[in-house]
Each structure stands twice: as structure tokens, then as C-alpha cells.
Structure 1
């Protein structure tokens, strides 16, 4: 079964390799989707895949890469996501 979630991560999450680290983690879990910086300093993304892989990504987002300081993660069920692989959007 495939699920899709939209996430927004707040805190010190830009300029600390958060997007690339998220893409690396998501790709290692076999997830599809994307991640990008928002103008207000947060990071937004969408991820689709199995419930177990999504739960693992959700847990990882709570911490992020070593230089990040995550203050919060919004995680909301979303509609369909088309495409394969996980990419960093600029």
C-alpha cells in the first residue's frame, strides 16, 4: 500500500544540508518525492511510499542532519504524487 505526505520542517533547517540529507535518506528508503526551501526559512517536501518507510523518514525529520536544529515538523496526508525517485528542488 502506498501513502503520500506533505511535510514542513521549521527551525535551523536551511544552510545545513537539510534538503540534500533528506533526499539521501528518502532515496535510501525507496521513497518518491521532493524537498525544497521556503522563503520564510522552513523546508517543505512531499514523500510517497510504504507506511514503514514513511514512518522512518518522519522520525528522521524530527532530528535532521547533525548541523540542523529542528523545532517542529508538520506532517499531513496528501493526495497522489506522480514520478519516481526523490529530488531536491531549487
Structure 2
């Protein structure tokens, strides 16, 4: 059975800027074969947008919450939607 393709948008709160968090996220997402980006927001959060099979997006979300990220994650808030299919690769923005 093929996993449904989705878009997961996550807002990561904590000390996640200036610590290699976007690079780490890009590496994990690329290993999972996901497409999207991780970008710093002006309020100190990092926004992560990932598209791919739902199971792989769920795994990335687990990793974001898992305690092994650079810096310190206090909270991850996610939103799920249909994949748009308009992204290639995984970028740091």
C-alpha cells in the first residue's frame, strides 16, 4: 500500500536559531526523501515545510520532537494539508 502524500508544516519553538538546526533538519528530511524547506522566522521560531509520504513526514516530526536536535526544542506545533507538489529538494532558507 502506497503512503498518502501530504504537506506537513511545523513551527519549532525554542533555542533553534544559530545552532545548526536548519542544517540538521535538511539532513534528516533528505534522508527520508522529503521535499520542502526549513526557514528562520523573525520571532525566533523555525518553520519546517515537508512534503512526501505521510509516514515519512510523521517520522520527521518525531525527530523534531525527539531531543536530539541542535539547540533546544520547547514545542513543535504542526499542521497537515494536501501536498502541493511545487517543491523540489529540501532547502535551508
Provide TM-score, normalisation by structure 2.
0.87
Structure 2: gaps spanning 5 or more residues: none
* 1:22-62, Cα deviation, whole Å (9 max, x unpaired): 00000000000011001111101210111111111000111
Structure 1: gaps spanning 5 or more residues: none
Q: Does 1:84 align with 2:92?
A: no
Q: Distance in 2 between matches of 1:81 and 1:11?
A: 29
Total equivalences in the alignment? 88
Change in 2 beyond 3 A, CA 1:36/1:86: same
1:78 is paired with a residue whose SS is strand
CA RMSD across the alignment: 1.3
1:14 pairs with one of 14, 17, 41? 17
CA contact (8 A) 1:64 1:70 kept: no
Instruction: Show structure 1 runs of 4+ deviating over 6 A.
Output: none
Q: Distance in 2 between matches of 1:15 and 1:78?
A: 29
Provide TM-score, normalisation by structure 1.
0.90
Aligned to 2:49: 46
Q: Distance in 2 between matches of 1:19 and 1:64?
A: 13
